[in-house]
Structure 1
């Protein structure tokens, strides 16, 4: 792996070891501007899911372009960002273990201005959290929580409006919790397709609107309540169904889309094009590439490159060969595809119509699903159009 402390001027200047993760600054800037405009046009707040990259530098970039809250999945992720100065965090998950709740309390105690919230989805969870917080955080203000709205058979979350009300009532009755709204994740319906998927998402988001209004009407949450939905695929539906139904006086609508920053060449590119929208969509560009070296040409039609499961995501599709660099020239690469990965090797099928590959060629691979590429790296070079290094982003994954 390349040394990020080395005075690298260009990823091809001979100082960078391959494989290497690069982020294209032009794509990042485009995506940041597009999402900021989309959120401003539709009066929604952006709280990007920072588990995508878990990078202080990339979070600060998002913050400079309008993101207000960092979303994470675990207390460890929250603590990592807290250590780098992030002071508004949403844990889009429940925390019910003593160590996790104690760590959250320690951060709040260390900085009284620190804002952190989390989810609850059952009376049992509320009861357990209350007992622990009474022991470890009795000196602190109530911890903000949101009731998680789920769907039968899919992830966590209260399954019915009645359950949402029960959980909200239990949380509101405690001294240590402050109920602030409703949370959900419409992405659980992503395995469905076409009209069936769209109907399921619409019905789910409509039930979220009903839940927010019901909690306000019952005096369980103050208006404007928080209504936070929006993964990286179907967030236009959140704007249409949730923001379109709830006035600003009723709810602050928060999107948690995380993968917009880099987009991808696979699952998000396909779903972004496929998702219908009456409220417009950001025009996103793929900005993440992993470059590797052709190591072997063991038989006709097969090339093996030094990029594998340790370097690129493969849970939502194989990496996509994009370009080749040979004799200091980068050009488009067609007629090749990755058929499988080993830990450190990509098996590339080379068609007769492709440029013949040579040992030592450098290949750029686009990826599908940024989250499970970022977590394989500790550094990423942010480059201009000529692959000159503009800055370095560090990740905080364990």
Structure 2
């Protein structure tokens, strides 16, 4: 899989019926477009220039604040896109489980942050199998129970050839992780008592997104309590392990990373050897919903300084589009599109009609003249007012929540500024 070349053929969304199979590397030669009639709709596309701009913007922000980033690969589950972010400056990629880790390792990525404790003895056996296959992998793993360290120690004692494994103690904030100072101390001492030099404590981790509430004051109070626990944890870590170099603090999310960077900047004055490793992923894709709105609020808060706030306000534009054909009409104003819950995320809202296309040309921007009123499995009911539409027109949709939209698609089609397909990305959601 390292060469990332695959064959597109019938059965993939977007592939023109009756067309000959084509290698992903040759797709640009076909001059396909979702608006000219040959591609089977619906399909999901990625605006390549906007995505590149978003990647460059985030890398600039991270670097300017002395941090690093391992973008969460669970968002696109595409080793090619993950590799592109690494080539642009990311430390590596984050994943949620062992299957995702193997997808990324098979795709040629070497630095993996596995942002969960993975289970018990059986999970550790599976982890050992993965490490045997990829002995040069640099893997960081969340841990939060002494029993899991027992399982790791037992497995490593049986296999002297297993490579080193970096451990991050996760601090709970309403999800996985240690919940008390006593639990954190117990984990520190359990790892310290381990005799295998290949199992090393590299730092701590948390997910601040669970602090978020509708009331910003409540959110900030939750963050304050979380950061106080992180501070105490860093103090205990130093007491047990001394002044370690490059102590990692890993945090994730695309909604509150400004608070995380602000905390990191303060904490580094007290603990100069700490290194922030962010796991934000959705921000690179943005959306026409909550992600874009939350990024706008980060810019508005101004916690990252004038330059970074201006970058956030100017970039992080939506990259993803759904394209669907008007297949029927229901009365004068309701267009029935061949797009449904099998194609679009719905957990943070229905897709937003953006533009009407006819014969390969955009005939109207309709974001302020239309709305999606209902989705069935494979039908969307679009109320279009103040604009004429016809059966056969193509509607361009913005999406809400990239993570739960991309996972419905085996292929993401990369579009240039002329709305022509120049790339295709295989996803691996299983």
* TM-score for the superposition, normalised by structure 2: 0.86
The DSSP-based 3-state class of the residue aligned with 1:284 is coil
- Which position in structure 2 is the counterpart of 1:101? 124
> Which range is displaced more, 309-318 or 126-135?
126-135
Check the 8 A contact 2:337/2:379 in 1, yes or no.
Answer: yes
Summarize the alignment of residues 306-325 of structure 1 with structure 2, pairs less than 5 Å apart: 306-325=338-357
Check the 8 A contact 1:107/1:114 in 2, yes or no.
Answer: no
* 1:238 partnered with 2:250: no
Summarize the alignment of residues 263-302 of structure 1 with structure 2, pairs less than 5 Å apart: 263-275=286-298, 276-279=301-304, 280-281=308-309, 282=312, 283-302=315-334
* 1:140 partnered with 2:162: yes
CA deviations 1:297-322 (Å, max 9, x no partner) are 12233222111111111111111111
* 1:164 partnered with 2:145: no
The DSSP-based 3-state class of the residue aligned with 2:267 is coil
The DSSP-based 3-state class of the residue aligned with 1:246 is helix
- Which position in structure 2 is the counterpart of 1:117? 140
- Which position in structure 2 is the counterpart of 1:2? 14
* 1:191 partnered with 2:213: yes
* Distance of aligned partners of 1:231 and 1:360 in 2 relative to their CA distance in 1, 3 Å threshold: same
Q: Choose from 323, 344, 353 the match for 2:378.
A: 344
Check the 8 A contact 1:21/1:289 in 2, yes or no.
Answer: yes
CA RMSD of superposed structures (Å): 2.0
Rounded to whole Å, the distance in 2 between the matches of 1:14 and 1:358 is 14
Check the 8 A contact 1:339/1:347 in 2, yes or no.
Answer: yes
Check the 8 A contact 2:94/2:114 in 1, yes or no.
Answer: yes
CA deviations 1:12-58 (Å, max 9, x no partner) are 34431100111001211110110011011101001000000010111
Rounded to whole Å, the distance in 1 between the matches of 2:81 and 2:382 is 32
Q: Choose from 215, 218, 222 the match for 2:244.
A: 222
* 1:332 partnered with 2:365: yes
Check the 8 A contact 1:216/1:223 in 2, yes or no.
Answer: no
Shift of 1:218: 2.1
Shift of 1:204: 1.2
Q: Choose from 65, 72, 75 the match for 2:95.
A: 72
Rounded to whole Å, the distance in 2 between the matches of 1:133 and 1:271 is 43
Bigger proportion of residues as helix = 2
Rounded to whole Å, the distance in 1 between the matches of 2:374 and 2:256 is 29
- Number of residue-to-residue matches in the alignment: 393
Shift of 1:119: 0.9
* Distance of aligned partners of 1:234 and 1:92 in 2 relative to their CA distance in 1, 3 Å threshold: same
Structure 2 unaligned spans of 5+: 1-12, 16-20
* TM-score for the superposition, normalised by structure 1: 0.93
- Which position in structure 2 is the counterpart of 1:49? 72
Rounded to whole Å, the distance in 1 between the matches of 2:390 and 2:302 is 45
CA deviations 1:90-126 (Å, max 9, x no partner) are 1100112445323332333334321112111122333
Rounded to whole Å, the distance in 1 between the matches of 2:122 and 2:426 is 26
* 1:174 partnered with 2:194: yes
Structure 1 unaligned spans of 5+: none
* Distance of aligned partners of 1:235 and 1:219 in 2 relative to their CA distance in 1, 3 Å threshold: same
Rounded to whole Å, the distance in 2 between the matches of 1:267 and 1:8 is 35
Shift of 1:188: 0.6
Check the 8 A contact 2:410/2:426 in 1, yes or no.
Answer: yes
